[in-house]
């Protein structure tokens, strides 16, 4: 959607000036420059980065609670977070024109917020994954014009998990671009309140289905050998990878089962499932409990753990307090707090 379109800004915001529009559409330089501006504390301090942060194009989150960019900035300030890499959500439309239009609108709208608040926000661009040609076009626009930090994907699109063959051209291009891909869980058609009798009252998909769907899409990528064939796609999975870490030993054990066997497992996981899991990156929102965090520390390189808050579904303080309460070496804390993310996103490597 053009920035001249009346929906480019919400009704409460002033019109976008022609100079700002030009800055957006030439946006790489402007967005890159924003990272150099001051953060929350004295110059020279390592930047703190939240890599699981939701922008809300409808100005409400899925729980119906109101959202605004000013509220988001206030949350960052109150919790000592310099920068959030934000994601406006998955484009699930199956109509190609609708999907392309929504992805472009959300990505331009999100980039405007990044420009309006220099140094505070980066962008995981949304992609119209049900339209592969449209997705390839949006990858080019998001990287070459908007200079997004990476891309946000859902664990699945309708019944297609990320290892589905139809997504192969997308991951080939993301591999060529050496892109960072943030994967957020969503409810799958297989398992909804209509089929899950216990999803009543406060119990909803995020309780079990989200962490399970994260494991499903990781397994689908492994089944397609995507992470082995296309190693330059740097995947970040939400919530510590869901339930995947707890299943690695089970996967490894199938080498001794007559139905699979050692040879098949060697073809599937040449270096074993633990090694394949360790290639991935994980943000830790809802995974800061001591037992889950310790499990992740045992199977994931310390450089592959990232701070995430899941704002605005949770107050940012929820993650900040849980993270602060964990016992760990200072080097690991500083890595998770921001150094590890800065290594993934070169624009944010400068100290604040």
Q: Are 226 and 163 in contact (CB under 8 A)?
A: yes
Distances, alpha carbon 222 to alpha carbons 88, 163, 229, 230, in Å: 27, 7, 10, 11
Question: Token digits for 225?
Answer: 């050998």
Does residue 128 belong to any structural domain of this protein?
Answer: yes
pLDDT value at position 18?
Answer: 34
**Closest to 52 in 3D by CA, of 306, 325, 343:** 306
Categorize the per-residue pLDDT at 326 as very low, low, confident or very high, splitting at 50, 70 and 90. very high
Does residue 86 belong to any structural domain of this protein?
Answer: yes
**Closest to 180 in 3D by CA, of 226, 133, 144, 148:** 148
pLDDT digits (tens, 9 = 90+) for 22-77: 344 434 434 444 444 333 444 557 899 999 999 999 998 777 788 999 999 999 99
Does residue 24 belong to any structural domain of this protein?
Answer: no
Mean pLDDT of 134-157: 98
Categorize the per-residue pLDDT at 100 as very low, low, confident or very high, splitting at 50, 70 and 90. very high
pLDDT value at position 337?
Answer: 97
Overall domain count for the chain: 1
Give yes or no for residue 128 having a pLDDT over 90: yes
**Closest to 227 in 3D by CA, of 247, 239, 241:** 241
Mean pLDDT of 97-101: 97
Listed range (2-11, 55-64, 73-82, 207-216) with the worst mean pLDDT: 2-11
Does residue 133 belong to any structural domain of this protein?
Answer: yes
Distance CA 275, CA 201 (A): 39
Does residue 28 belong to any structural domain of this protein?
Answer: no
pLDDT value at position 30?
Answer: 40
Does residue 312 belong to any structural domain of this protein?
Answer: yes
Does residue 15 belong to any structural domain of this protein?
Answer: no
Categorize the per-residue pLDDT at 329 as very low, low, confident or very high, splitting at 50, 70 and 90. very high
Residue 26 CA from chain centroid, whole number: 24
CATH of the domain at 119: 3.20.20.140
Distance CA 289, CA 247 (A): 18
Question: Token digits for 218?
Answer: 């990781």
Question: What residue spans of the chain are helical by DSSP H?
Answer: 18-25, 28-34, 69-78, 96-116, 132-144, 168-176, 205-223, 226-229, 244-253, 262-268, 273-278, 290-299, 316-325, 330-334, 340-344
Boundaries of domain holding 309: 37-348
End-to-end CA distance of the chain: 34
Contacts of 304 (CB under 8 A, 6+ apart): 278, 280, 281, 282, 340
Does residue 14 belong to any structural domain of this protein?
Answer: no
C-alpha gyration radius of the chain: 20
Q: What is the mean pLDDT of the chain?
A: 88
Distances, alpha carbon 53 to alpha carbons 251, 254, 302, in Å: 31, 37, 21
Distances, alpha carbon 235 to alpha carbons 69, 95, 175, 241, 296, in Å: 27, 27, 11, 11, 16
Exposure on the CB side of residue 211, measured as CA atoms within 13 A? 17
pLDDT value at position 129?
Answer: 98
- Please give the backbone phi and psi of residue 241, each rounded to the nearest 5 degrees, phi first: 80, 15
Give yes or no for residue 108 having a pLDDT over 50: yes
Mean pLDDT of 150-166: 97
Mean pLDDT of 313-329: 96
């Amino acid at each position: 959607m053009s920035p001249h379109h009346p929906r480019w800004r919400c009704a409460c915001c002033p019109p976008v000036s022609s100079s700002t529009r030009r800055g957006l559409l030439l946006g790489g330089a402007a967005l890159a420059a924003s990272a150099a501006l001051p953060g929350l504390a004295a110059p020279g301090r390592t930047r703190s980065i939240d890599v699981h942060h939701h922008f809300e194009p409808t100005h409400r989150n899925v729980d119906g609670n109101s959202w605004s960019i000013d509220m988001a900035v206030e949350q960052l300030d109150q919790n000592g977070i310099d920068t959030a890499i934000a994601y406006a959500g998955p484009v699930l439309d199956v109509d190609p024109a609708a999907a392309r239009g929504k992805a472009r609108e959300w990505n331009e709208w999100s980039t405007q917020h990044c420009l309006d608040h220099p140094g505070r926000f980066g962008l995981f661009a949304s992609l119209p994954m049900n339209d592969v040609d449209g997705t390839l076009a949006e990858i080019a626009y998001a990287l070459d014009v908007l200079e997004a930090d990476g891309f946000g994907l859902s664990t699945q699109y309708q019944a297609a998990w990320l290892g589905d063959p139809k997504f192969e051209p997308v991951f080939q291009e993301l591999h060529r671009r050496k892109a960072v891909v943030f994967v957020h869980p969503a409810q799958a058609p297989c398992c909804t309140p209509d089929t899950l009798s216990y999803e009543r009252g406060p119990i909803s998909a995020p309780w079990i289905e989200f962490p399970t769907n994260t494991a499903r899409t990781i397994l689908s990528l492994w089944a397609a050998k995507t992470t082995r064939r296309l190693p330059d796609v740097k995947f970040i999975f939400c919530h510590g990878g869901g339930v995947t870490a707890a299943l690695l030993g089970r996967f490894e054990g199938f080498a001794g089962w007559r139905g699979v066997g050692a040879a098949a497992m060697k073809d599937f996981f040449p270096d074993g499932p633990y090694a394949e899991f360790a290639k991935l990156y994980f943000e830790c929102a809802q995974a800061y409990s001591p037992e889950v965090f310790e499990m992740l520390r045992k199977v994931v390189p310390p450089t592959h753990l990232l701070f995430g808050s899941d704002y605005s579904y949770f107050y940012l303080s929820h993650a900040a307090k849980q993270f602060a309460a964990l016992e760990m070496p200072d080097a690991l804390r500083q890595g998770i707090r921001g150094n590890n993310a800065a290594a993934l996103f070169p624009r944010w490597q400068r100290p604040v």
